[in-house]
Structure 1
């Protein structure tokens, strides 16, 4: 298996080290609002600025959950820029923190490496626990398994599950088994996951609705409908009530078969149980209508989301805009784009390219130019060269 290798400039590494020296040795003025800085960190995508905010914020976060969230956000920003050496500097510096002997704190470091897709470092951090004086339990064990799944190192999970439970005498819990089943499903091995499910029943370990949902999703995607139905019946027989996410797996299956009536039947089942379809449910229904050429019904689903207590997400805008462009409905497509921009959920370049080309073909050059300008303003570093190339191709520059 190949893993991501660290690569970064020495200047950025020095910047990280400087930030850590500063945040470990000093505190910012008390007038600075923690909640304001957390909000600022969430909206900041520049990695250097995110690091600066984190260095100011980190010493004042007393909650393990808040600390993990702030570190996770910062690592995500660095990982997006492939600054893996900086991530290592950032996380390794935390191993001198006074809370390092607390297992939840150390587990957050393991999870951070997972978010960065650095599984070797996550495993090494788990192995460092003896040296750091941190006790091990299912908490850090589950963090390591999760880190491997986040790193897409799914084949590592069964191996680590077996080795660590044996070497460290850690007793896996329902979450541990759920993560294991997730890895097996991602590997395309739902049959092995069913075997683990049977082990859980034998050992009287609770099987959560999340675990059942993961397995059902894998079985449906492999087209193993009978096995999926058997798992569904077993879940109900065991007194585990399906939730909206579980029903969405069945809705997905009906949508793949392009049968809107089957999707609506599952909606009815949900309503009988007192469950309300969410935006994912409606996205599947909308997609199903689009694939059947029923664009009027698809638009009505989209327009009725607010009334249903749902807000459109990125998938909503991307899907509807794609099919609107395929059907040449560029005016409505432009309205959908504007709505997506207000929500900060602008679709990908490929989808937007179709809309721009359609507007130009319809001789709506001003609208096409305005759309490109809006996207470039919001995402100056994302697909910038592609947009410039498209502008030249469509002769939108200088007009």
Structure 2
């Protein structure tokens, strides 16, 4: 029964004593009774912070105003437009404008989409990403009054919001209260989220014990389960325990993917075991899990850290052969390194390839390359790079 399962999981949290100081999320506004009342009592326009630049605050207020206007389009509110929601919440969160975030997300309650659980889940998730768990909980509690059904899917979104907001104590409360009250049966996503919560607390024994609870309830762990555990174990240099998990994966015939391998690659490089990281890349290829840009970045970093210029350049070329798109991490890490080593011809090649792929190198790195080329009397190459940089920047404006 759900109550038995949740009480056991709840017990694991009680057994885990933590004194970590966790960030407080902003307190929610008073809950509204109906969708109509929600629209009528929507938050007033956000107030500016007197310590902030007036021009920056005006920009953010204008952004909020435009976003709310765009939301009147049903097309904009579709899942395909979720990127715009994520962008504005991320930007407002970075500026510590939590009242602005509340304003735009409370604004969504006036639309009929709020009766769709998928739409509500998106809002709960956004509150979680902003660290506003109390607001996520308030919205979850309001869903019945907004004519929106609550299932394990929205409960999982709330659990995830707990973890994203680092409110791990609230995970325990939710497990003890919600499933039994709403007759919700935990699914694999629920368990994976609880495992992630324990991993964030470095409570690895408790995290592993959740697998036993899953199996007692006829749910097998999946590759996501193991990716969460292996990522945490490798970040904490628990290689021996991680190796046991790899063996367990094989026993359960769970096929690893690139996200399974990447944390191990990074851990091997961090431990200065670069030759083993290279062997792991070959193992990935042999098992049909093609390395991605993050895999190659890990290996390149290893050779950069060991000041091995030729191997760093070779693995960059290997990455290009595999069709991986350049990202700014690759360009900056390798670019600064080759400049330091005095290989400005390769630095020029790297910058040109990055620019042609729409990945503009940092200005300081471009300046290093230009100055290095000029120092070597390669004036035409320096001019070409300057013009390429100007052209790409002008095209993006």
Which TM bucket (shorter chain)? 0.7 to 0.9
Higher deviation after alignment, 333-342 or 201-210: 333-342
Distance in 2 (alpha carbons) for counterparts of 1:226 and 1:107: 38
Deviation of 1:72 after TM superposition, in Å, equals 2.5
2:66 to 52, 59, 64: 52
Does the alignment pair 1:118 with 2:118? Answer: no
How many pairs were matched up? Answer: 343
1:317 to 325, 331, 339: 331
Distance in 2 (alpha carbons) for counterparts of 1:190 and 1:355: 44
Distance in 1 (alpha carbons) for counterparts of 2:106 and 2:26: 16
Equivalent residue runs for 1:227-238 within 5 Å: 227-238=241-252
Distance in 2 (alpha carbons) for counterparts of 1:313 and 1:150: 25
Deviation of 1:157 after TM superposition, in Å, equals 2.8
Does the alignment pair 1:303 with 2:312? Answer: no
Does the alignment pair 1:135 with 2:156? Answer: no
Aligned-residue Cα RMSD (Å) equals: 3.6
Higher deviation after alignment, 255-264 or 152-161: 152-161
Secondary structure in 2 matching 1:59? coil
Aligned to 2:273: 259
Deviation of 1:73 after TM superposition, in Å, equals 2.9
Distance in 2 (alpha carbons) for counterparts of 1:98 and 1:11: 21
Distance in 2 (alpha carbons) for counterparts of 1:355 and 1:244: 32
TM-score normalised to the size of structure 2?
0.74
Structure 1, residues 311-354: CA drift from partner, whole Å, max 9, x if none? 12222123213433443545644554454455454567xxx657
Structure 1, residues 47-101: CA drift from partner, whole Å, max 9, x if none? 7357526633652328852254442233223333333222211111111211222
Q: Evaluate the alpha carbon distance shift between residue 358 and residue 337 of structure 1 in structure 2; reply closer, same or farther with a 3 A threshold.
A: closer
Higher deviation after alignment, 330-339 or 160-169: 330-339
Aligned to 2:183: 169
Work out whether residues 70 and 76 of structure 2, in 8 Å CA contact, stay in contact via their aligned partners in 1: no
Aligned to 1:2: 23
TM-score normalised to the size of structure 1?
0.74
Equivalent residue runs for 1:138-149 within 5 Å: 138-149=152-163
Distance in 1 (alpha carbons) for counterparts of 2:171 and 2:357: 37
2:300 to 267, 286, 302: 286
**Any gaps of 5 or more consecutive residues in structure 1?**
16-44, 379-399
Aligned to 1:387: none
Structure 1, residues 164-217: CA drift from partner, whole Å, max 9, x if none? 223333211101111111122122222221111221122221312011011011
Aligned to 1:183: 197
Work out whether residues 330 and 355 of structure 1, in 8 Å CA contact, stay in contact via their aligned partners in 2: no
Deviation of 1:162 after TM superposition, in Å, equals 3.4
Aligned to 2:123: 109
Q: Evaluate the alpha carbon distance shift between residue 281 and residue 374 of structure 1 in structure 2; reply closer, same or farther with a 3 A threshold.
A: same
Work out whether residues 155 and 187 of structure 1, in 8 Å CA contact, stay in contact via their aligned partners in 2: no
Work out whether residues 290 and 323 of structure 1, in 8 Å CA contact, stay in contact via their aligned partners in 2: yes
Work out whether residues 115 and 148 of structure 2, in 8 Å CA contact, stay in contact via their aligned partners in 1: yes
Deviation of 1:362 after TM superposition, in Å, equals 8.3
Q: Evaluate the alpha carbon distance shift between residue 273 and residue 362 of structure 1 in structure 2; reply closer, same or farther with a 3 A threshold.
A: closer
Distance in 1 (alpha carbons) for counterparts of 2:75 and 2:65: 15
Distance in 2 (alpha carbons) for counterparts of 1:285 and 1:52: 44
Structure 1, residues 118-139: CA drift from partner, whole Å, max 9, x if none? 2111111111123223221111
Aligned to 1:208: 222
Work out whether residues 286 and 301 of structure 1, in 8 Å CA contact, stay in contact via their aligned partners in 2: yes
